[in-house]
Structures are given as C-alpha cells and as structure tokens.
C-alpha cells in the first residue's frame, strides 16, 4: 500500500516549500485554493503530500465511508455520427456491421433480466445516431417507469441531448423537461472530456462544446435535478487544462449545487486513433484523484470508476481523497474494456465490493444514485 502522511507531519517537514506549506495551511483552514495553486500542486506536489491534503478533506466530508450502488449498464448503440480520437468503442454509421443498435423493446428486454435482482439504477449512454431520437428516448423512459417505477434512470450525456434536441428543433430547456417528464431521474457525467476548446477539437471535434455541456447541466440543475461530472485526463492535455476543467465545474457547482460526484476518467490507448499516446502511471492517477479532491471543495464526492482503472488502483485511490467506487455493473459495459481498461469483464458482486473496501480499513455504504444511504456494512 502506498503510504500517505498526516497534515501535521506535512506542516513540520523541513523539505516542504513555502508555497506548498501555504496551500496545506489553506486546506487546514478550509479555504479555497486558487487556479494557480491548483496548477502548482500538479507541478510540485509529491504523492504523500497530496494524499494527506486530500484525505483531510475527504474525512471532513465523508469520514471513513466509501459508497457504492447496485447498478447495471445498457448501451443502446455503439454506432455514432462522431469520430472521437480517443474512442475505441463507437463505429461510424457506415460501419454498422461492426456495431449494434438496440430497439426500445430490446432495451426493455435487457432491463427485465434484472427484475428479480435488487438493483437500484440503470445507467444508459452510448453512441449518437439519428434513429434514437427524442421520441425514441421519451418512449423508452416512460416504458421503463411503467415496468419498474422504482428503478432510477441515469441516462445520456449532453453530447447525446445536444444532438437529439437540435434534430428535434427544441430548446435545451424544453428538451430536458420532456426527458424529466418521461422518467429521466439524473444525468451521468460523460461527454465532458476536456473543456479547453483547442484540445477538445483535437480529440472530440464536432461534439457539443464545453459551454453547451455546462449549459445543459445547469438547466437540469435548475429544474431541481442532479447529475455527475467527469474529466478525461492523461492524453494531450496539460496540467493547466485539467485545472481549467475543474474550475469551470467548481463555478457551476457554486451556482447550482447540482453535481453529486466528480469522476476522473483515465485515457486508455488501445484500439483508437490515439494509440501512440502513452498512458499515465498509477502514481499520476492517484495524484490526479487527490488534486481533484482538493480543488473541487464544493463537490461532496469523488469517484474512482473501478471498471476503468481496475480494482487495485481503486483500492489505492481510497487513500487519496476518493470516497466512491461506483457499483456492481455486472459486466454490462463495453465502453472502457474496448479501449484497454484494466477490467475486461467488469463485474463485482456486492460481497466483493464490500470486501474490497474493508481491506483498506474503510466502511462500505450501499447508496442509491443520489447518495441516500441504504445499508452500512460495519
């Protein structure tokens, strides 16, 4: 296990620079760090130092609790009008023979397979195609709720909604109200990638802009609804781009308070147009989690997505500011495994999740999607 220090040891260190001691003092005083200080942490913060600061914040917010839920994924299609350079999952419309397009009935059949299981959430996202339009999703959400009213629908990202609403010639406000009224309960955090316009154009050109992504979440939050946020890191972005991304999220969270969790997503370089870009190390993963926890002071939860980075790194992350590791998933997602994620068959039972958390001295808590506690496993 990678060791972290406590804040008292950090402050007493003779080797720590004045700038890093000043940031540590701000963390101890629950003061917000600045953009430049965030970049400074990436450039000069050693792992043990960052872990001490992040865990101080984590324990203030969530104690020793680590959250998970019972969920599964449905991916309606991997056919897509977009050609993101980092994506190993999607296929162009002209490559339909290599992909899948599920009908409303087929998606319902996939959901019905869990009728006898105590899952609380279905997570839906995938490619973007004209056929899966506004009518498709409002019908789908209504039929899911008719079949299983208590199942939380966490579905689609602003990338999908932007395309759907533009095609239907409705405003973001009107479109999100239609989705909510049909049964949408919350939004996942995907599609954020990196907000910097130049980097975004290089890796995800054609998708909704950072401003459009943020606008859709803001509208959703102002309707009294909640969502998550992500950041794709470890590719061609700089440390300043990461902090810029977090800064925009922090500003929106100040405004709406509608984000539940922040989920850093590691770039994986298998089977995509960016295979020449080396993946960052586990050390950099942990540093990124810790700085996310330090910078995003108005987010209650930082999540490490175990299906993306693997069980062992997720365990390590629990000592670097992370308090959530997602859910059971049940081997129902291919988005990350096709890009070379650590978990090629991402499935964990509730018992396995509980044991994974307990092995690092934390308290497992089963939650619902909105972080209401269901069971605490002491």
Region 146-169: mean pLDDT is 97
- Report residue 308's pLDDT band, with 50, 70 and 90 as the boundaries: confident
Query: 250-287, pLDDT tens digit by residue?
Result: 999 999 999 999 999 999 877 777 888 889 999 999 99
Q: Is the pLDDT of residue 129 over 70?
A: yes
175-184, 232-241, 287-296, 307-316, range with the lowest pLDDT: 307-316
pLDDT of amino acid 333:
44
141-145, 300-304, 353-357, range with the lowest pLDDT: 353-357
Region 2-22: mean pLDDT is 75
pLDDT of amino acid 86:
65
pLDDT of amino acid 336:
43
Region 135-160: mean pLDDT is 97
pLDDT of amino acid 146:
98
Region 306-319: mean pLDDT is 91
Percent of the chain scoring above 70 in pLDDT? 89
Region 42-53: mean pLDDT is 96
Q: Is the pLDDT of residue 186 over 80?
A: yes
HEC readout, 224-277: CCEEEEEEEECCCCCHHHHHHHHHHHHHHHHHHCCEEEEEEEECCCCCCCCCCC
Residues with Cβ within 8 Å of 189's Cβ and at least 6 positions away in sequence, in order, are 157, 227, 228, 229, 230, 259, 261, 262, 263
Q: Is the pLDDT of residue 63 over 80?
A: yes
HEC readout, 327-368: ECCCCCCCCCHHHCCCCCCCCCCHHHHHHHHHCCCCEEEEEC
Q: Is the pLDDT of residue 344 over 70?
A: no
- Tokens representing 128 are 């973007």
pLDDT of amino acid 205:
81
User: For the domain 62-74+185-376, what is the CATH code?
Assistant: 3.20.20.70
Q: Is the pLDDT of residue 339 over 70?
A: no
pLDDT of amino acid 8:
72
- Report residue 353's pLDDT band, with 50, 70 and 90 as the boundaries: confident
Query: Mean pLDDT across the chain, nearest whole number?
Result: 89
Going by C-alpha positions, the residue among 48, 72, 20 that lies closest to residue 326 is 72
Domain boundaries, the chain: 62-74+185-376
């Amino acid at each position: 296990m990678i060791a972290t220090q406590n804040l008292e040891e950090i402050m007493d260190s003779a080797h720590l620079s004045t700038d890093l001691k000043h940031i540590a003092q701000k963390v101890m005083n629950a003061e917000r760090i600045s953009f430049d200080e965030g970049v400074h942490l990436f450039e000069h913060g050693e792992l043990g130092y960052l872990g001490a600061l992040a865990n101080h914040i984590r324990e203030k917010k969530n104690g020793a609790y680590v959250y998970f839920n019972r969920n599964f994924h449905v991916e309606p299609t991997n056919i897509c009008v977009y050609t993101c350079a980092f994506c190993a999952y999607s296929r162009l419309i002209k490559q339909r023979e290599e992909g899948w397009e599920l009908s409303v009935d087929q998606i319902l059949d996939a959901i019905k397979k869990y009728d006898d299981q105590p899952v609380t959430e279905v997570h839906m996202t995938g490619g973007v195609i004209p056929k899966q339009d506004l009518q498709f999703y409002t019908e789908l959400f209504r039929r899911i709720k008719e079949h299983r009213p208590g199942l939380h629908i966490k579905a689609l990202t602003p990338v999908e909604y932007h395309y759907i609403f533009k095609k239907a010639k409705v405003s973001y406000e009107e479109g999100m109200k239609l989705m909510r009224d049909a049964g949408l309960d919350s939004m996942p955090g995907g599609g954020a990638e990196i907000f910097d316009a130049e980097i975004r154009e290089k890796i995800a050109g054609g998708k909704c802009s950072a401003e459009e992504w943020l606008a859709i979440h803001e509208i959703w939050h102002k309707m009294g609804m909640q969502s998550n946020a992500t950041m794709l890191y470890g590719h061609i972005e700089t440390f300043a781009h990461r902090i810029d991304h977090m800064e925009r999220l922090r500003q929106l969270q100040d405004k709406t308070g509608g984000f539940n969790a922040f989920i850093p997503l590691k770039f994986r370089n298998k089977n995509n147009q960016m295979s020449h870009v080396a993946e960052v190390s586990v050390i950099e993963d942990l540093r990124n989690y810790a700085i996310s926890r330090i910078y995003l002071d108005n987010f209650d939860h930082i999540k490490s997505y175990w299906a993306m980075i693997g069980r062992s790194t997720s365990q390590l992350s629990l000592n670097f500011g992370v308090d959530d590791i997602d859910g059971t998933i049940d081997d129902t997602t291919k988005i990350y495994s096709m890009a070379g994620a650590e978990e090629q068959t991402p499935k964990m039972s509730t018992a396995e999740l509980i044991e994974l958390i307990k092995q690092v001295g934390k308290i497992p808590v089963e939650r619902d999607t909105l972080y209401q506690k269901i069971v605490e496993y002491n």
